[in-house]
């Protein structure tokens, strides 16, 4: 199994939503009660990705997980802090995908000058 971690592109949206929708519908971990529409999800990616990385893990051209950072708070004192999330397809959990995504994400954030990464857990 050869995994590739790369930046998200617009062709990844449907596969990312396929990972995210069951998490929203079946768990409390996303803090959302309804999955976003494809348009809403694309807009999230576009707005956050201008400043912070969104990554996918791909195996055999299938997106099996993704991780991203977004602003933690908008006040100036928080400018070097971000909130992060990671989601992995049910068939690929417990295989090190989340760890690999977070490792890559944190390295990129460090290069961008961010100091603090916060995660909300349910």
Cβ distance 103 to 57 under 8 Å?
Answer: no
Query: Using CA of residue 55, residue 11, residue 60, residue 22, what is the dihedral sign?
Result: positive
* Per-residue pLDDT reduced to its tens digit, 12-49: 999 999 999 999 999 988 889 999 999 999 999 998 88
64 and 58 in contact (C-beta within 8 Å)?
yes
Residue 65 has pLDDT above 80, yes or no: yes
Per the confidence metrics, is the pTM higher than 0.85? yes
16: nearest Cα among 95, 108, 102, 89 = 89
Q: Residue 68 CA to chain centroid, in angstroms?
A: 3
Asked if pLDDT for residue 83 goes beyond 80, the answer is: yes
């Amino acid at each position: 199994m050869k995994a590739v971690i790369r930046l998200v592109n617009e062709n990844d949206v449907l596969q990312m939503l396929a990972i995210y929708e069951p998490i929203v519908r079946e768990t409390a971990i996303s803090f959302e009660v309804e999955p976003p529409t494809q348009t809403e999800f694309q807009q999230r990616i576009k707005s956050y990705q201008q400043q912070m990385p969104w990554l996918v893990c791909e195996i055999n051209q299938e997106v099996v997980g993704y991780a991203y950072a977004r602003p933690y708070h908008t006040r100036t004192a928080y400018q070097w802090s971000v909130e992060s999330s990671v989601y992995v397809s049910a068939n690929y959990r417990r295989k090190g995908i989340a760890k690999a995504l977070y490792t890559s994400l944190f390295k990129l954030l460090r290069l961008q000058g961010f100091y603090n990464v916060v995660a909300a857990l349910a």
